[in-house]
Structure 1
Amino acid sequence: MKKMKFFTNFDREEQWLNEMARQGYRLVNKSMTYEFETAKPEEANYRIDYRTFKTRRDFEDYKALFEDCGWTHVAGTKKSGAQYFKQTGDWGDEDIFSDVNSKAARYKRISDMWLSLACSFIPLFAVLISTGAIQVTAIVKPKLLYYTPGLWEMSGSQFWRSFLFETPFAVMRGFSWAVIPIMILVYAAFAYKAKKEYTKSQQE
Protein backbone atom coordinates (compact mmCIF):
# COMPACT_ATOMS: atom_id res chain seq x y z
CA MET A 1 0.00 0.00 0.00
CA LYS A 2 1.23 3.48 -0.84
CA LYS A 3 0.24 6.75 0.80
CA MET A 4 1.06 10.32 -0.18
CA LYS A 5 1.56 12.70 2.74
CA PHE A 6 3.82 15.64 3.52
CA PHE A 7 5.18 16.63 6.92
CA THR A 8 7.25 19.58 8.11
CA ASN A 9 7.44 18.24 11.67
CA PHE A 10 9.43 15.06 12.33
CA ASP A 11 7.62 14.33 15.61
CA ARG A 12 4.20 14.32 13.91
CA GLU A 13 5.55 12.13 11.12
CA GLU A 14 6.92 9.63 13.66
CA GLN A 15 3.59 9.57 15.48
CA TRP A 16 1.77 8.89 12.22
CA LEU A 17 4.10 6.00 11.35
CA ASN A 18 3.59 4.53 14.81
CA GLU A 19 -0.17 4.78 14.35
CA MET A 20 0.07 3.06 10.95
CA ALA A 21 1.97 0.22 12.66
CA ARG A 22 -0.84 -0.12 15.20
CA GLN A 23 -3.23 -0.52 12.28
CA GLY A 24 -1.08 -3.31 10.80
CA TYR A 25 0.96 -1.39 8.22
CA ARG A 26 4.76 -1.55 8.39
CA LEU A 27 6.91 1.01 6.58
CA VAL A 28 9.18 -0.60 3.98
CA ASN A 29 10.18 2.34 1.76
CA LYS A 30 9.86 6.10 1.42
CA SER A 31 10.39 8.10 -1.77
CA MET A 32 7.71 10.44 -3.09
CA THR A 33 5.21 8.26 -1.23
CA TYR A 34 5.21 6.08 1.85
CA GLU A 35 5.18 2.39 1.01
CA PHE A 36 3.72 -0.02 3.56
CA GLU A 37 3.26 -3.77 3.73
CA THR A 38 0.57 -5.56 5.71
CA ALA A 39 1.90 -6.89 9.01
CA LYS A 40 0.77 -7.84 12.48
CA PRO A 41 -0.39 -4.74 14.40
CA GLU A 42 2.30 -3.65 16.83
CA GLU A 43 3.40 -0.86 19.14
CA ALA A 44 6.29 0.30 16.96
CA ASN A 45 8.76 3.06 17.71
CA TYR A 46 9.90 4.96 14.61
CA ARG A 47 12.45 7.73 14.59
CA ILE A 48 13.58 9.98 11.73
CA ASP A 49 16.94 11.61 11.17
CA TYR A 50 17.98 13.88 8.31
CA ARG A 51 21.42 13.34 6.78
CA THR A 52 23.05 12.96 3.38
CA PHE A 53 26.34 11.18 2.71
CA LYS A 54 29.14 11.62 0.19
CA THR A 55 30.16 7.96 0.08
CA ARG A 56 28.45 4.63 0.40
CA ARG A 57 30.91 3.64 3.12
CA ASP A 58 29.91 6.59 5.30
CA PHE A 59 26.24 5.68 4.82
CA GLU A 60 26.80 2.03 5.77
CA ASP A 61 28.82 3.05 8.85
CA TYR A 62 26.01 5.40 9.86
CA LYS A 63 23.39 2.64 9.64
CA ALA A 64 25.63 0.18 11.47
CA LEU A 65 26.07 2.63 14.34
CA PHE A 66 22.34 2.78 14.93
CA GLU A 67 21.87 -0.96 14.48
CA ASP A 68 24.41 -1.51 17.25
CA CYS A 69 22.19 0.65 19.46
CA GLY A 70 19.04 -1.34 18.70
CA TRP A 71 17.64 0.54 15.69
CA THR A 72 16.96 -0.92 12.23
CA HIS A 73 17.21 1.32 9.18
CA VAL A 74 13.97 0.79 7.24
CA ALA A 75 13.98 3.54 4.59
CA GLY A 76 16.23 6.20 3.10
CA THR A 77 19.25 6.36 0.82
CA LYS A 78 22.59 8.11 1.13
CA LYS A 79 21.26 11.07 -0.89
CA SER A 80 17.60 11.09 0.20
CA GLY A 81 18.19 13.08 3.39
CA ALA A 82 15.39 11.59 5.50
CA GLN A 83 16.49 8.38 7.24
CA TYR A 84 13.86 6.18 8.89
CA PHE A 85 14.65 3.90 11.81
CA LYS A 86 12.57 1.42 13.78
CA GLN A 87 13.44 0.19 17.25
CA THR A 88 14.47 -3.45 17.19
CA GLY A 89 12.33 -5.40 19.64
CA ASP A 90 12.33 -4.22 23.25
CA TRP A 91 16.02 -3.51 23.60
CA GLY A 92 18.02 -0.41 22.83
CA ASP A 93 17.54 3.23 23.71
CA GLU A 94 14.10 4.81 23.48
CA ASP A 95 15.43 7.49 21.13
CA ILE A 96 18.12 7.65 18.46
CA PHE A 97 19.25 11.08 19.69
CA SER A 98 21.50 11.48 22.70
CA ASP A 99 20.42 15.03 23.60
CA VAL A 100 18.15 17.92 22.65
CA ASN A 101 20.73 19.62 20.44
CA SER A 102 21.37 16.54 18.28
CA LYS A 103 17.62 16.04 17.88
CA ALA A 104 17.10 19.67 16.92
CA ALA A 105 20.04 19.61 14.48
CA ARG A 106 18.03 17.57 11.96
CA TYR A 107 15.76 20.59 11.49
CA LYS A 108 18.81 22.77 10.90
CA ARG A 109 20.07 20.39 8.21
CA ILE A 110 16.74 20.21 6.39
CA SER A 111 16.33 24.00 6.67
CA ASP A 112 19.72 24.47 5.02
CA MET A 113 18.69 22.06 2.27
CA TRP A 114 15.45 23.92 1.48
CA LEU A 115 17.25 27.27 1.56
CA SER A 116 19.97 26.07 -0.82
CA LEU A 117 17.29 24.87 -3.25
CA ALA A 118 15.55 28.25 -3.11
CA CYS A 119 18.84 30.09 -3.70
CA SER A 120 19.81 27.81 -6.59
CA PHE A 121 16.76 28.92 -8.60
CA ILE A 122 17.30 32.65 -8.10
CA PRO A 123 20.17 33.01 -10.67
CA LEU A 124 18.16 31.01 -13.22
CA PHE A 125 15.13 33.23 -12.66
CA ALA A 126 17.28 36.36 -13.06
CA VAL A 127 18.74 35.06 -16.34
CA LEU A 128 15.30 34.24 -17.77
CA ILE A 129 14.08 37.74 -16.89
CA SER A 130 17.15 39.47 -18.34
CA THR A 131 16.85 37.55 -21.62
CA GLY A 132 13.14 38.29 -21.92
CA ALA A 133 12.15 34.61 -21.65
CA ILE A 134 9.99 35.62 -18.67
CA GLN A 135 8.15 38.92 -18.48
CA VAL A 136 7.39 39.70 -14.86
CA THR A 137 5.21 42.63 -15.93
CA ALA A 138 2.68 40.02 -17.11
CA ILE A 139 1.61 39.79 -13.45
CA VAL A 140 -0.03 43.20 -13.74
CA LYS A 141 -0.50 43.13 -17.53
CA PRO A 142 -1.95 39.70 -18.47
CA LYS A 143 -2.30 40.92 -22.05
CA LEU A 144 1.43 40.23 -22.49
CA LEU A 145 0.65 36.51 -22.32
CA TYR A 146 -1.20 36.75 -25.65
CA TYR A 147 0.97 36.71 -28.75
CA THR A 148 -1.65 37.01 -31.53
CA PRO A 149 -0.77 40.13 -33.56
CA GLY A 150 -3.42 42.86 -33.28
CA LEU A 151 -5.60 40.79 -30.95
CA TRP A 152 -6.63 43.72 -28.78
CA GLU A 153 -7.54 45.85 -31.79
CA MET A 154 -9.96 43.22 -33.09
CA SER A 155 -13.67 43.36 -32.38
CA GLY A 156 -16.77 41.24 -32.54
CA SER A 157 -16.62 37.55 -33.43
CA GLN A 158 -13.11 37.85 -34.84
CA PHE A 159 -11.83 38.98 -31.44
CA TRP A 160 -13.61 36.22 -29.51
CA ARG A 161 -12.45 33.49 -31.89
CA SER A 162 -8.83 34.62 -31.60
CA PHE A 163 -9.10 35.26 -27.87
CA LEU A 164 -10.64 31.89 -27.02
CA PHE A 165 -8.21 30.09 -29.32
CA GLU A 166 -5.12 31.56 -27.67
CA THR A 167 -6.32 31.66 -24.04
CA PRO A 168 -5.26 28.04 -23.26
CA PHE A 169 -1.78 28.81 -24.62
CA ALA A 170 -1.63 32.05 -22.63
CA VAL A 171 -2.61 30.20 -19.45
CA MET A 172 0.10 27.58 -20.02
CA ARG A 173 2.61 30.33 -20.81
CA GLY A 174 1.72 32.17 -17.60
CA PHE A 175 1.94 28.97 -15.58
CA SER A 176 5.37 28.13 -16.98
CA TRP A 177 6.60 31.64 -16.16
CA ALA A 178 5.26 31.32 -12.60
CA VAL A 179 6.76 27.90 -11.82
CA ILE A 180 10.24 29.11 -10.86
CA PRO A 181 9.21 32.03 -8.58
CA ILE A 182 6.61 29.78 -6.95
CA MET A 183 9.28 27.14 -6.29
CA ILE A 184 11.58 29.77 -4.80
CA LEU A 185 8.83 30.96 -2.46
CA VAL A 186 7.77 27.43 -1.49
CA TYR A 187 11.33 26.29 -0.76
CA ALA A 188 11.99 29.47 1.23
CA ALA A 189 8.79 28.88 3.22
CA PHE A 190 9.84 25.30 4.00
CA ALA A 191 13.28 26.54 5.08
CA TYR A 192 11.68 29.11 7.39
CA LYS A 193 9.32 26.51 8.84
CA ALA A 194 12.17 24.08 9.51
CA LYS A 195 14.24 26.87 11.10
CA LYS A 196 11.33 27.63 13.45
CA GLU A 197 11.12 23.95 14.37
CA TYR A 198 14.86 23.98 15.02
CA THR A 199 14.57 26.93 17.40
CA LYS A 200 11.53 25.37 19.09
CA SER A 201 13.28 22.02 19.54
CA GLN A 202 16.28 23.67 21.17
CA GLN A 203 14.03 25.32 23.72
CA GLU A 204 12.21 22.13 24.73
Structure 2
Amino acid sequence: MPLTDRLPKLPPRRIDAVVIGASAGGLQALGVVLGGLPSGFRMPIAVVIHVPEGQASKLAAIFQARLKLHVMEAEDKAPLMPGTLYFASPGYHLLIEQDRTLSLSQEERVHYSRPSIDVLFESAADVFGEHLCGVLLTGANEDGATGLRAIHRAGGLTVVQDPEEALVSTMPEAALELFIPDFVLPVKGIHTLLVELERNNA
Protein backbone atom coordinates (compact mmCIF):
# COMPACT_ATOMS: atom_id res chain seq x y z
CA MET A 1 0.00 0.00 0.00
CA PRO A 2 1.46 3.43 -0.92
CA LEU A 3 2.51 5.51 2.05
CA THR A 4 0.09 8.31 1.15
CA ASP A 5 -2.79 5.83 1.49
CA ARG A 6 -1.83 5.31 5.14
CA LEU A 7 -1.56 9.01 6.01
CA PRO A 8 -4.47 10.84 7.59
CA LYS A 9 -6.20 13.22 5.21
CA LEU A 10 -4.12 16.34 4.74
CA PRO A 11 -5.64 19.57 6.08
CA PRO A 12 -7.41 21.68 3.44
CA ARG A 13 -5.13 24.68 3.78
CA ARG A 14 -2.13 26.24 2.10
CA ILE A 15 1.31 25.74 3.63
CA ASP A 16 3.51 28.79 3.07
CA ALA A 17 6.73 27.62 4.75
CA VAL A 18 8.43 24.61 6.34
CA VAL A 19 10.73 24.68 9.35
CA ILE A 20 12.88 21.69 10.30
CA GLY A 21 14.98 20.98 13.38
CA ALA A 22 17.51 18.24 14.05
CA SER A 23 20.60 17.42 16.05
CA ALA A 24 22.52 14.13 16.37
CA GLY A 25 21.87 12.06 13.24
CA GLY A 26 20.24 15.01 11.54
CA LEU A 27 22.38 15.12 8.41
CA GLN A 28 21.41 11.62 7.35
CA ALA A 29 17.74 12.15 8.22
CA LEU A 30 17.58 15.49 6.45
CA GLY A 31 19.18 13.99 3.38
CA VAL A 32 16.28 11.55 3.08
CA VAL A 33 13.59 14.12 3.90
CA LEU A 34 14.82 16.61 1.31
CA GLY A 35 16.48 14.31 -1.21
CA GLY A 36 14.67 14.20 -4.54
CA LEU A 37 12.40 17.18 -3.96
CA PRO A 38 11.65 18.53 -7.45
CA SER A 39 13.22 21.71 -8.79
CA GLY A 40 9.74 23.25 -8.93
CA PHE A 41 9.22 22.80 -5.18
CA ARG A 42 8.06 26.23 -4.00
CA MET A 43 7.73 26.17 -0.23
CA PRO A 44 10.70 27.85 1.50
CA ILE A 45 12.41 25.65 4.09
CA ALA A 46 14.37 26.94 7.10
CA VAL A 47 16.52 24.44 8.98
CA VAL A 48 18.31 24.44 12.31
CA ILE A 49 20.85 21.67 12.84
CA HIS A 50 22.96 21.89 15.97
CA VAL A 51 26.49 22.64 14.78
CA PRO A 52 29.59 23.68 16.73
CA GLU A 53 30.18 27.38 17.17
CA GLY A 54 33.41 29.01 16.08
CA GLN A 55 33.81 27.29 12.73
CA ALA A 56 32.31 27.78 9.30
CA SER A 57 29.35 25.61 8.38
CA LYS A 58 29.53 23.49 5.24
CA LEU A 59 25.87 22.50 5.33
CA ALA A 60 24.75 24.78 2.51
CA ALA A 61 27.50 23.55 0.19
CA ILE A 62 26.88 19.90 1.07
CA PHE A 63 23.17 20.07 0.40
CA GLN A 64 23.44 22.31 -2.67
CA ALA A 65 25.47 19.53 -4.28
CA ARG A 66 22.72 17.01 -3.50
CA LEU A 67 19.49 18.92 -4.11
CA LYS A 68 17.67 20.68 -6.91
CA LEU A 69 16.58 23.46 -4.53
CA HIS A 70 18.52 26.68 -4.11
CA VAL A 71 20.45 26.30 -0.82
CA MET A 72 22.08 29.03 1.24
CA GLU A 73 23.23 29.89 4.73
CA ALA A 74 20.74 32.28 6.31
CA GLU A 75 21.62 35.97 6.15
CA ASP A 76 20.27 38.72 8.38
CA LYS A 77 17.45 40.76 6.75
CA ALA A 78 17.26 38.43 3.73
CA PRO A 79 13.72 37.82 2.44
CA LEU A 80 12.33 34.30 2.72
CA MET A 81 12.22 33.21 -0.92
CA PRO A 82 10.20 30.40 -2.52
CA GLY A 83 12.03 27.23 -3.46
CA THR A 84 14.97 28.03 -1.18
CA LEU A 85 16.50 26.01 1.65
CA TYR A 86 18.08 28.07 4.44
CA PHE A 87 20.47 26.76 7.09
CA ALA A 88 21.04 28.56 10.37
CA SER A 89 24.57 29.88 10.86
CA PRO A 90 26.80 28.53 13.66
CA GLY A 91 26.55 30.67 16.77
CA TYR A 92 23.40 32.53 15.70
CA HIS A 93 19.73 31.92 16.42
CA LEU A 94 17.64 32.03 13.24
CA LEU A 95 14.25 33.77 13.41
CA ILE A 96 11.56 34.71 10.89
CA GLU A 97 10.19 38.23 11.24
CA GLN A 98 6.63 39.43 10.59
CA ASP A 99 7.67 40.83 7.20
CA ARG A 100 8.90 37.34 6.31
CA THR A 101 12.56 38.23 6.39
CA LEU A 102 15.24 36.30 8.24
CA SER A 103 16.84 37.57 11.41
CA LEU A 104 20.00 36.42 13.17
CA SER A 105 20.51 36.80 16.91
CA GLN A 106 23.23 36.06 19.44
CA GLU A 107 20.91 36.01 22.44
CA GLU A 108 21.40 33.38 25.15
CA ARG A 109 21.55 29.73 24.22
CA VAL A 110 18.39 27.64 24.51
CA HIS A 111 18.92 24.05 25.69
CA TYR A 112 22.64 24.84 25.46
CA SER A 113 22.20 25.47 21.73
CA ARG A 114 22.68 28.46 19.45
CA PRO A 115 21.14 28.16 16.94
CA SER A 116 18.10 26.82 18.73
CA ILE A 117 15.28 24.91 17.08
CA ASP A 118 12.78 26.32 19.59
CA VAL A 119 13.69 29.90 18.63
CA LEU A 120 13.13 29.25 14.92
CA PHE A 121 9.92 27.31 15.44
CA GLU A 122 8.36 29.83 17.81
CA SER A 123 9.14 32.81 15.59
CA ALA A 124 7.80 31.01 12.51
CA ALA A 125 4.59 30.05 14.35
CA ASP A 126 3.97 33.72 15.15
CA VAL A 127 4.37 34.67 11.49
CA PHE A 128 2.69 31.84 9.58
CA GLY A 129 0.16 30.36 12.02
CA GLU A 130 -1.86 27.61 10.39
CA HIS A 131 0.08 28.01 7.13
CA LEU A 132 3.28 26.56 8.63
CA CYS A 133 4.62 23.01 8.71
CA GLY A 134 7.09 22.13 11.47
CA VAL A 135 9.24 18.99 11.36
CA LEU A 136 11.30 17.66 14.27
CA LEU A 137 13.89 14.98 13.55
CA THR A 138 16.46 12.94 15.46
CA GLY A 139 18.46 14.57 18.25
CA ALA A 140 20.03 14.14 21.67
CA ASN A 141 18.35 16.92 23.66
CA GLU A 142 14.90 18.47 24.11
CA ASP A 143 15.37 21.50 21.84
CA GLY A 144 12.47 21.81 19.42
CA ALA A 145 9.77 20.18 21.54
CA THR A 146 8.24 23.38 22.93
CA GLY A 147 8.74 25.13 19.60
CA LEU A 148 6.84 22.40 17.77
CA ARG A 149 4.09 22.66 20.37
CA ALA A 150 3.93 26.40 19.64
CA ILE A 151 3.36 25.58 15.97
CA HIS A 152 0.62 23.15 17.00
CA ARG A 153 -1.06 25.78 19.18
CA ALA A 154 -0.92 28.29 16.33
CA GLY A 155 -2.80 25.84 14.12
CA GLY A 156 0.17 24.74 12.02
CA LEU A 157 0.94 21.23 10.81
CA THR A 158 3.31 19.29 13.08
CA VAL A 159 5.48 16.32 12.13
CA VAL A 160 7.77 14.21 14.33
CA GLN A 161 10.19 11.56 13.13
CA ASP A 162 9.26 8.13 14.42
CA PRO A 163 11.46 7.71 17.54
CA GLU A 164 11.97 4.02 16.75
CA GLU A 165 13.70 5.02 13.50
CA ALA A 166 15.63 8.03 14.83
CA LEU A 167 19.34 7.61 15.40
CA VAL A 168 18.86 9.38 18.73
CA SER A 169 15.27 9.37 19.98
CA THR A 170 15.49 12.01 22.74
CA MET A 171 14.32 14.92 20.61
CA PRO A 172 11.25 13.33 18.99
CA GLU A 173 10.28 11.67 22.28
CA ALA A 174 10.42 15.03 24.07
CA ALA A 175 7.89 16.43 21.61
CA LEU A 176 5.61 13.41 21.95
CA GLU A 177 5.59 13.87 25.73
CA LEU A 178 4.20 17.39 25.30
CA PHE A 179 1.42 16.90 22.73
CA ILE A 180 0.09 14.69 19.94
CA PRO A 181 1.45 15.90 16.57
CA ASP A 182 -0.40 15.56 13.29
CA PHE A 183 2.08 13.00 11.98
CA VAL A 184 4.67 10.61 13.42
CA LEU A 185 6.52 9.25 10.41
CA PRO A 186 9.76 7.68 9.22
CA VAL A 187 11.95 10.04 7.22
CA LYS A 188 10.80 8.60 3.89
CA GLY A 189 7.23 9.30 4.96
CA ILE A 190 8.12 12.89 5.85
CA HIS A 191 9.60 13.32 2.37
CA THR A 192 6.37 12.03 0.83
CA LEU A 193 4.33 14.34 3.05
CA LEU A 194 6.26 17.41 1.87
CA VAL A 195 5.69 16.41 -1.75
CA GLU A 196 1.96 16.04 -1.06
CA LEU A 197 1.79 19.41 0.71
CA GLU A 198 3.46 21.06 -2.27
CA ARG A 199 1.00 19.37 -4.61
CA ASN A 200 -1.93 20.59 -2.50
CA ASN A 201 -0.61 24.15 -2.73
CA ALA A 202 -0.76 24.09 -6.53
TM band (smaller chain): under 0.3
Q: Which has the higher contact order (CA 8 A, sep 6+)?
A: 2
Structure showing the higher strand proportion among its residues: 2
Report the TM-score, using the length of structure 1 for normalisation.
0.25
Q: Which has the larger radius of gyration?
A: 1
Report the TM-score, using the length of structure 2 for normalisation.
0.25
